[in-house]
Structures are given as C-alpha cells and as structure tokens.
Amino acid sequence: MLTLKRVLLPVLLLVLFLPAYSQQDRTVDSLKKVVATSADARVKVEAMDILCRMLMNINLQEAEDYGNRMILLAEESRDRKLMINAYLANGLRCSYFAGRKDYAQRSIGYYNKALEIAVKNEYQEKIAIAQMRLSATYLAVLDKDNALKFASQAFSIINNLEDDSLKAEAYKTYGNVYLARNEKKLALQYYLDALRVAEDAENDRMIRDCYLSLAGFYSAIEDYDKAIDYRTLALKKLDASPDGRTPYQKTVALAAIGDLYAAKKSTDIAIGYYNRSLAMADSFKLTNLKVLGYQSLLNQYIRMDQPAKALEFFNSAAGQNLKDYFSRLGFSPIINEAYGVIYTDLGLYDSARINYNKAAPYFEKEASEIQRMNFYALWANFYQKTGDLNKAIEYFLKVKTISETNGLIESAELAAKHLDSLYTRTANYQLASQYNSIYYKLSPRKKNWHRWRRLMCSIAWKKKRRKGRKKK
C-alpha cells in the first residue's frame, strides 16, 4: 500500500528471507571451510547454497562468485537434481532483491532453467517447487497473471503428491496471489486450508509459517489486532522447535510485531518491541539484523511527525550503521530518498530537492514498479509542500497510472484523493470533480468495512468449526 510516511522498507525486506544463524561470521567461515575441503559435490552445493544466500546480506560480489561456482560444480557433476538445486538456489538469492529489475529478471531466468531441467527429467516435485518460486517472483514484480498461472500449475502437480509440506506451501502461494489480486475471501480460504494441512501434519514449522501468512493477510486488510495475534502465535511456535536460526527469527518477529503496533498508533508499545529486537540482535551478535530495528525506529519518528528526531537518529551512530548497510549493498539512492522525506518534513526544501534529484535516476531506471510508485508519491508530496502544484499533479498522475496498471486499488484511491485536492487548489474544478468521483468510486470498501470484517471472521469461524467436527 502507498504511504507518505515510511522509507527504506523495499530493500530491507530482503533480510526477512535470508538464512541466518547466531554468530553469523563464524557460520560463513565454517561454510567456506566445507566448500574448500569437502570432496562430495552434494555437500559442497548444499554449503554454497546457504553461503551465497547469507552473503547477499554481507558482500554481493562474493555471493555472486559462490553462486556461479555452485552452478559450475553442479553442471560438471551431471547430476540433474543437483543442477536443479543449484539453479533454484541462485534464483532464490536473486529474488531477495526483486525490488531491482535486473535481479528480478535474473531470478526468473534461474528458476526457468531449473524448471526446464525438471520437466525434461520428469521430476514432479522439483517442477512444482520451481513453479511456486516463479509465482512468488512474478508477484513481487506485480505480474499477477503469470503469478496465478504458475501457482495453478504447481497446485495441479502437488495435489497428486503425498507431501504435506508442499501442499501447505501451494495453498499459501494461492493465498498470496489472490490477496494481491484483491480477492480477499479466496485468499483467506487458501491460507486457512494451508493451516489445516499443517495442523493435521502436526508440524510446528509449517504451522508457524501459516500463522505468518495469516498475520500478513490481516495486516493487509488493516485488522492489526488479529495480525498481532497471529504474529504472537508464530513467535511462541519458535520455542517448540528451536534451531540455529531461532535467535534470528525471534529478532525479526519482534520488529514485525512492533510495526503492527505502529500501524495501529500504539507508539510506546511499538518502540518497546523495536528496542527488544535490537537488544536480541545485539546479544546474539546479529549485527546486520539490527538494521531492521534501526529502520523501524526511523520510520516511527517519521510517522509521529517528528522529523527533527528522525534526522538526529539518522545522523547518529545507529543511523550510520543503517546507511553503511545500504551503501555496502549498492543502494545509496535509498539513503537520499530517506533524507528527502526528512528534509521535506523539516521544511528544508533545498536540501530535500538535492536528495530527491540524486535518488531519482535509480528509482526511474532500476527500481521495481512499486518502488518507483512510492518514490513518485514522496516526490509529489515534496512539490505539494513547496507550492509547485503542477509538479505535484504530474507525479500523483504517475502514481495513479502505475497503481491502476497493477491493480493497486488503495494506492490509486490515495492518488485520486490528492489530485482532487490539488486540482481544487489550482481552480480546475472540472478535473477536481472528476477525481473526486474517482476517489469515491475506488473507496466503497470504507463504507462496507464492518460488513467485510464480519465476513472474514465468519469464514475463519466456519473453517474452525468444520475442523472441530471432523476431529470428533
């Protein structure tokens, strides 16, 4: 959803998917040792899979080197399943940066190569995995038709396999696609189907993943209390089957719960969760993961309309760590975007303009559609505050076009609302009236909000009741 009060998020989402362990540096060194000393191609590929994905959070060139070495080793082995795994691993690591066009296309290319080998050798399970990965990546770049196509193809295969884990994943993939297509009733049904499969299998990891999907669903429909419920259940599930990733996952979970409290305007509770996330990352020496807490605190100060505090934080040692993280991964323009937002709110328009102009080439040429749309919205807000209403209109029109092209109804609604106001201020009452009509046409969900909530709760209750009867 479009927002004028949040920055840095698109890239930082990558840390949610990276494999991580406590004592990350030691784990990297250990994996490098396995790669250097093992004579078993399978062992080396498995180690390089984890290693190249971990390095996406540390050193992109090293990640690239190990990813290429993994493919070469797998190809030389002529083991078809090993080759598929190598291409899938490279597709996954590139998908972490799906916010950049080049990485998204490379991810799709690797997945298609894995799919091609799997189809030729009739490895049904691998075909389905590649198709679900393709669905997720296409969804990240807002290609909802291809996302649905690959989700459907994967589901038709998995439906004939005796694999509960893949079946739950297929239901969640469908849920993600239908949520993106604004078919929320179908999305919830598929998420609940995934949870049913996981609960029947009595698999704590699968159940936890389903809770996370349901938390995402309820956050998307702005039922933040319900989202917090599921996030909390997922957090508790971590203690049921702890492993080397548990400290990492708990650190991420605390920051995510903080974001949900921030969304429902419970500021003090949100900041408390962010500080707990930072403390846990610090205690387990998860240095890179502290960027989640830093980002969340920065966004919180911006949301609270405290730009002076946001600037102080961004220029502090913690803020410098955040900026170093982005610079190391080649995302300096996102730092400029953040400064642009802060300086705009402070009324330091010359400084804001300089930073927005520095950031613009990246967002216009390299960023994904949704990143570009969010940048245009922030830039339009800048022009609106400086009194350049024609420029503000120009960029909100771009926001509206991208939103409508990609079915982002809420973003199109917000753009129409701003355009109504801007055209009124420029005395163009005909266009103001036109965008006022568009705004109210796009926002019937607000009028039917309580009915929609009851519908969602009813679906969840009926599913639970059917499950209870089945057990009896």
| pLDDT tens column, 138-182 | 999 999 999 999 999 999 999 999 999 999 999 999 999 999 998
Q: What is the pLDDT of residue 470?
A: 52
Give every CB contact of residue 297 below 8 A, 6+ residues apart in sequence.
271, 274, 313, 318
| pLDDT tens column, 211-247 | 999 999 999 999 999 999 999 999 999 887 777 778 8
pLDDT band at 16 (very low <50, low <70, confident <90, very high): very low
> Can you list the positions of beta strands (E) in 59-217?
none
Residues 27 and 247: beta-carbon distance below 8 Å: no
Strand, coil or helix: what is 100?
Answer: strand
Q: What is the dihedral of CA 24, 27, 31, 37, to 10 degrees?
A: 140
Q: What is the pLDDT of residue 466?
A: 54
Averaged pLDDT, 107-129: 98
Q: List the single range of 7-21, 32-46, 200-214 with lowest mean pLDDT.
A: 7-21
Q: What is the pLDDT of residue 462?
A: 54
Q: What is the pLDDT of residue 456?
A: 58
| pLDDT tens column, 405-427 | 988 888 899 999 999 999 999 99
Strand, coil or helix: what is 368?
Answer: coil
Give the separation between CA 249 and CA 272, rounded to whole angstroms.
18
- Please name each of the domains of the chain with its CATH number: 20-135 (1.25.40.10), 259-321 (no CATH)
Global pTM value: 0.87
Give the separation between CA 153 and CA 129, rounded to whole angstroms.
10
Give the separation between CA 90 and CA 71, rounded to whole angstroms.
8
- Residue 449, pLDDT > 70, answer no
Task: Please tell me the total number of residues recorded for the chain in this structure.
Answer: 472
